[in-house]
Each structure stands twice: as C-alpha cells, then as structure tokens.
Structure 1
Amino acid sequence: MSVPRLRPDTPERAGLEPGLLHRAVADALALTTGERPWAAGLVVAAGRGPVLAVEEASGWAVRYSAYDPRTDAGTELPDGAKVPMTVGTPFDLASLTKLFTAVAAVQQIERGTLGIDAAVGAYLPDFTGAAARGVTVRQLLTHTSGLRPELPLYDCPDVPERLRRLREEVPVGERGAYLYSDLNMLLLQHVLERITGRGLDVLVHEGITRPLGMTATRFGPCPDAAATEDQRRPWAKADRGMVRGIVHDENAWALGGVAGHAGLFSTGRDLAVFCRALLAGGGHGPARILGPDFVDLLLTEPGLGFALDQPWFMGELAGRGAAGHCGFTGTMLVLDRATDTFAVLLANTVHPRRRPFDNAPRAALATGVARAVRAM
C-alpha cells in the first residue's frame, strides 16, 4: 500500500499553529547572527504527517578560513569568498549516521539474516575482544555492550593497525549497563558487511536512500557541504586544517570516511523524508524500507540506535516515546509518533572550531514544534 509522500505546504495544512511554529524557527535562524554565533549557519525543517511545514536556512555554509587561537575567533573570509547557507546545503551528519546503521541492521533482522540476540562472535569470530565477552547485536544497538566510548584509531599508523585495535578491543564496562560508544556502531558495521558481503555505503544507498528518493544523502566526499572545523591539535585530535566535504570525525576519517558511527552527509529535506518514512510505519510513496513491526522494534524502549525521550535536546517533544539523535557537528533529528511530527536542525556549530555543547537551541526548536501541535 502506497504511503503519501512528504510535500511542502503550510503549517495550517500540517495541523500546526503557524505563529508558534514560525516563532520557534525565527529564534533558531537568529542563532547565526553576531560575532560569535551559536552556528555559522543552519537549516531547519519541520512538519507533521505528510506535510513539510517549514524549511528555512540562515547564515553561512563557509564563513571562516581558519581559527585563530590568539584571539579565540575565526578568521573571516572576504564577503565574496563566503558561501551562503541554503536549504539544499548538505551537512556532515556526524552521529546521525548511527540511525542509518541501525535501520540497515533492523532490515537484516527483518530478513532473518541477522539475529538480534545473536553473539557478535558468531558473525565476527576474529573480533576476539567482543567475542570473548559474549557481546550481542542487541547490546551494540542499545549501547549496553560495555565498549568504551571511543578508541584513538586516528593515532594508529595505518588502516590494518586501526582494524587490529578494533578487533582486539575488550569491553571495559558492565554488560547490560548503558555506556554510549561509537565502537558499537563500528562493530555493527563490520557485522553487516560480513553477513551481506557489501559495504555499509552500499547497504545504506540500496536499502534506504535510493528507495526513499534521498538523492542528497551519501557518504563523502561531499565538496559542496557546509564547512566544519579547522582541525588542529590541541583542540582537535588530528591536524587537518579547515575541513569541508570530508568527514569531521577523526576516527571515521582514519577509517576511510565510511563508518558505522559517522560519515554520512545529507540535507534537511532528505532527513525530513527519512523521518516521514519512519513515522508512516516504514514507507514513503510506493517504497517501503521496513515493516511496521520492525519500525516498532527500532523506536520502542529502549530504542535501537535511536535515543528515546531525551528532553535535553528534544524539549517538550520528549515524554511520549519521541525518538531521535544528535550529532557532534551540530545536527539533530527528532520524530514523535504520538503527534506524527518531526523536527530537523542542521548546523555547523564546530565552524571554525569545536566548543562546549549548548543544546538549548535544539530543545527550543523541538519545544516550539510540540507547542504548535498542542495549540491546534
């Protein structure tokens, strides 16, 4: 059965109170102004049901040529060299990549080629650290494997050594206890590639983005993407200079740009389609990427890859099973099945360099969407 495709229309047609929604969006767009903005540029997309009620951009995709540690500020490009942000600008999604890895895994669970409670060692016996501790696929998807948050793979001399470190890594935390880790999705990537014989980039393209018509979503390089960080030590973990169109995450970069935890680039419109497909039970138009029961598996407590009911970035959308994730570069995606709403905020908050997290703008946008629903 075909599911209505996402279409641009008015907030009223979406069942959203326009004044409240536009106020929340205006507050987000204003975050790109001033000498030290929250983000150099950003894109907002939000809607309800099959309606994309708002899609707007502000600021700059590229504003700075470098970061100056003496002044703790970015070196401004001449006006003619700056690149304006548009609604079609791709962003480095950072950890939003994990959501696509999770969907790819649940697709294999649905097909019966992957067991959710199977031991990782059954698929990856050469990953001796996880195999020895009996880590399961479910534990990878729920961040309960005990694997540490990350490994400094970027400091290893070559890819074979990086993979050796990953294969031998033994969980350090208590199995069953929540410990958020990029390594979970890196191992899950290797499980998926081993059982299918295809790379994660191919699995995401063939299983998710192509059927949904998400033509702007892909692993890098992505030359027209919003710039991220002037990566230099000591504030970064590698000396790469101003990064644009190549994955920001140092480990994903060290592994070639295709990684289970980071590496995808996308636009606000494409992510709105992704949200719509999940809210509609796994379908969009004539395409279906998951059956409704497996969308439930993905988005029901404790969530597989998706975080659930996190007010620190979901604001007032949290509390009824809202699902989503954030990314280090300044990205956010939230969908709420209780009200059939979604909110996407893409920002290059790390341009020209990373700062302590300020999640208030993410929560404020999600709260604005929640209030726009309640006011109708």
Structure 2
Amino acid sequence: MGGPGGRGQRPRGGGLTARGGQLSTARLRVDTPERAGLDREETRRLAREVRALTAGDRPWAAGAVVVAGRGPVIAVREAAGWAVRYTAYDPEADAGVEAPPAARAPMSIDTPFDLASLTKLFTSVAAVQQIERGTLGIDARVGAYLPDFHAAAAHGLTVRQLLTHTSGLRPELPLYDCADDAERLERLRSEAPATEPGRHVYSDVNLLLLQQLLERLTGRSLDVLVRDGITRPLGMTSTRFGPCPGAAATEDQRRPWAKADRGMLRGEVHDENAWALGGVAGHAGLFSTADDLAVFCRTLLSGGSYGPARILGPDFVDLLLAPPGLGFAVDQPWFMGELAGRGAAGHTGFTGTSLVLDRATDTFLILLANTVHPRRRPPDSAPRARAGTRLRRAVR
C-alpha cells in the first residue's frame, strides 16, 4: 500500500542558473516547470512515477522524496509513502512486519535520510577545498601526509587515486569486527592495495584513508570540516552526521544478511563500518534532506558559490566534476538515465539515495528513498535511471 505524500511549498536556500555562459547564484525558489524551462507533463510524469515506487505490498521503497529543477527553480518537490512502515523483517515470510497505524510515520519533504555513500561527495569537496588552498597536492603521495600508514606509503598511493578509486584498495574492510578503535586504525594503516593501482575499483577504504589524511592535515575532525566548510556557509541546516532522530527508517539489521545485529534502525547510521567508527566516516554517516541537497547541487552548478557564500572556485569545481570525477561518478546511465552523456555528475547511496547534477542542461535531480526498509535487497537502480531520463526529456 502507498502512504500519504506531501507536496511542499517552502523554498530552501539558493541556487543558480547557467544560461548563455553566465553563472548566477540566485536563490532557489519553488515555481512552475515553465519558469524552469521544463515541460509540465514530463515533470508530472516524474512525480507520478516516484509515487508509484512506494505503492503495493512489496514496493521498491517504503517511502521516497524527489526534488528536481533547472536553474534557480525547483519544479518538482514531492514526498510519497512512509518514513517508517515496518517494525521488523520476518525472514520466514520474506516480508516486513507492518507497524500499527499509530506507529507509522508518513514521508514528508523535510524527512532526513541516511545518505550512505553520498557522504563521499562531501568528503571529496572537503579535500578539493584543501587543494584550492594549496595545503594538499592532488598528485601528492598519501605517505607524505600519513607516513605511519605504511602500506599506502610503501605503494606510493596518491590523493588522486583515492578520489578516483584507482588506488587498488579492496572495496571494504571489516572494521565492524575489530575489538576497538586501535585495532581499526591499525587495519587501515596496514591495508595494502589488492590490485595494481591504476584500475578503477570502487572502494570505501579510499575515503576512509582520505578522512584520516584530512583530519591529520587540518587538525579538525571530518564532521567539523564538513560543517564549517560546506553546510554552515550554504545554510544546509538539516545536513549533519548522526544520530538524526526523525530520519527515515532503514533496515532491521541482523545476520546473516547484514554484518551486525542491531535491529530496526532509524536515525543511526546504517553502514556497519561507519557505525563502528562512531558515525563519522569519510564514506558514510551523513544525514540530509532533499531540499538541502538541492542547495548543494545548485552550488556546484553555479561554480562553487551560492548567494553570498563561496565554498569552491569555478576552476576547482571543474577539477571536482571533470571526468572521471573526484568522488563523483560521471556519465553513468545505469542510475542517471538519459541525463548521462555530456558530463552529468552524481552518486548513489546503498540506503536508496541518489543525486545527479547536469551542467549541460543546468538541471539537478535528487531522489531519496529508504529501499533497505525493512531489509536490504539486491540493488535496483532502474527507477533512478528512469527518473533521470524523465527529467532530461523535460528539458526544453
């Protein structure tokens, strides 16, 4: 069954338009598709298709929020389904245990989500900020900043390799099985590449090493770097590392399908390694809303500025988003659909989150869903790709 949804009217923050080569930092506003230069019927289809993703007994997601627009105009702003629908997962029935009506929570535009790997984008921006300031070299060796991380130092891993997932490090480490923080840190220090550096192998470990590097370099923790360098200047007041009461529920996390026994999660980070690290990690841990992420997208589309705030210069936004992307994935049809092809950049998150920004059409698409509620399933990004295609076809 589908839950109640809401179409909000409260604009958040600011944005840009990039018409005729001119970048504008005009603040975001909710307006008509026509004002955004988008086809009304295509945007209606986009909203309708997202609502359908939450319908039925076994929906793609219990709930979802979509925010999309062009230039400074938010033309689609829709919530559907449930932030909390289930109390547990029943493995014998292979289905969620429905919560009683009083215990359910409808999805709203303002519902925060566990961003999962969208956190990597913020860690990447924090790194490029240091590159812009001249305190970090894009092709510098990690060992120059972290000499005690002897495996990375011995293999000559570079900052660029961490940001482009070409370090050769394996996808993840079981830090959640370590006895304490000292053991977790030693695992990171001793982790050597599993394959020859240079080939793309997507790895959470890259961003964990980058977190260690940034914290050593600046003397500040990652949550402070993200807050002071990105979210506070941009007015992204709903974006922070957890815990985050009121967030959309994620998984009834239990072995054998998960890597820890934690029960139904809401407001606590889903990723087991981020949880083991106290909730602040370079690869996962942030919570945010679709409105806040729209501000983040508009900032990058405007060359790093948003209203009076500037978090990066245009040249460094280019460095961040140019193929193959630093932290960002570029031109990936499997989740961008027809938005891919001319430099669209974005990312997905394991919990069901995604964002895409397309400089060629000056558009952005944020689709947040709790697809792992009540438990994780094999990933299915076809709905994300369809949403990207729908937005691309709406561009006049």
Whether TM exceeds 0.5 here: the answer is yes
1:53-90 CA-to-partner distances (Å, cap 9, x unmatched) read 11110000010000000100000000111000000000
Candidates 240, 255, 274, aligned match of 1:218: 240
In structure 2, what is the Cα distance between the partners aligned to 1:353 and 1:313?
Answer: 21
2:375 is equivalent to residue 363 of structure 1: no
Candidates 141, 161, 169, aligned match of 2:163: 141
Deviation at 1:109, TM superposition (A): 0.1
2:368 is equivalent to residue 346 of structure 1: yes
Partner residue in 1 for 2:25: 3
Secondary structure of the residue aligned to 2:327 is coil
* Contact 2:119–2:284 (Cα < 8 Å) also in 1: yes
2:63 is equivalent to residue 24 of structure 1: no
Q: Percent identity?
A: 77
2:203 is equivalent to residue 184 of structure 1: no
2:230 is equivalent to residue 208 of structure 1: yes
Candidates 242, 255, 259, aligned match of 1:237: 259
Deviation at 1:25, TM superposition (A): 1.7
1:195-245 CA-to-partner distances (Å, cap 9, x unmatched) read 100000000000000011100000000011000000000000000000110
Candidates 253, 276, 283, aligned match of 1:261: 283
Query: What is the total number of aligned residue pairs between the two structures?
Result: 374
Out of 83-92 and 27-36, give the one that drifted further.
27-36
* Contact 1:2–1:287 (Cα < 8 Å) also in 2: no
In structure 1, what is the Cα distance between the partners aligned to 2:146 and 2:279?
Answer: 22
* Contact 1:66–1:230 (Cα < 8 Å) also in 2: yes
2:108 is equivalent to residue 124 of structure 1: no
Deviation at 1:301, TM superposition (A): 1.0
- Which structure 1 residue ranges, 5 or more long, are not aligned? none
Partner residue in 2 for 1:58: 80
* Contact 2:24–2:302 (Cα < 8 Å) also in 1: no
Partner residue in 2 for 1:34: 56
Partner residue in 2 for 1:173: 195
Partner residue in 2 for 1:74: 96
Deviation at 1:52, TM superposition (A): 1.0
* Contact 1:2–1:286 (Cα < 8 Å) also in 2: no
Secondary structure of the residue aligned to 1:345 is strand
Secondary structure of the residue aligned to 1:244 is coil
Deviation at 1:7, TM superposition (A): 1.3
Secondary structure of the residue aligned to 2:83 is strand
Secondary structure of the residue aligned to 2:265 is strand
In structure 1, what is the Cα distance between the partners aligned to 2:184 and 2:262?
Answer: 19
Give the counterpart letter for 2:76 in structure 1.
V
Give the counterpart letter for 1:102 in structure 2.
S
Partner residue in 2 for 1:83: 105
Partner residue in 2 for 1:251: 273
In structure 2, what is the Cα distance between the partners aligned to 1:157 and 1:243?
Answer: 22
In structure 2, what is the Cα distance between the partners aligned to 1:172 and 1:293?
Answer: 33
Secondary structure of the residue aligned to 2:231 is helix
If the length of structure 1 is used for normalisation, what is the TM-score?
0.99
In structure 2, what is the Cα distance between the partners aligned to 1:9 and 1:320?
Answer: 26
- Which structure 2 residue ranges, 5 or more long, are not aligned? 1-22
Give the counterpart letter for 2:182 in structure 1.
P
Give the counterpart letter for 2:55 in structure 1.
T
2:352 is equivalent to residue 330 of structure 1: yes
2:296 is equivalent to residue 284 of structure 1: no
Give the counterpart letter for 2:272 in structure 1.
E
Deviation at 1:2, TM superposition (A): 7.4
Deviation at 1:182, TM superposition (A): 0.1
In structure 1, what is the Cα distance between the partners aligned to 2:388 and 2:44?
Answer: 12
**CA-based RMSD:** 0.8
> Map of 1:270-309 to 2, 5 A cutoff?
270-309=292-331
* Contact 2:229–2:311 (Cα < 8 Å) also in 1: yes
Candidates 121, 145, 152, aligned match of 2:174: 152
* Contact 2:141–2:157 (Cα < 8 Å) also in 1: yes
Partner residue in 2 for 1:315: 337
In structure 2, what is the Cα distance between the partners aligned to 1:48 and 1:19?
Answer: 15
In structure 2, what is the Cα distance between the partners aligned to 1:2 and 1:326?
Answer: 27
Q: 1:38 to 1:107 in 2, by over 3 A?
A: same
Give the counterpart letter for 1:371 in structure 2.
R
* Contact 1:40–1:349 (Cα < 8 Å) also in 2: yes
Candidates 130, 136, 157, aligned match of 1:114: 136
In structure 2, what is the Cα distance between the partners aligned to 1:22 and 1:286?
Answer: 33
Secondary structure of the residue aligned to 1:352 is coil
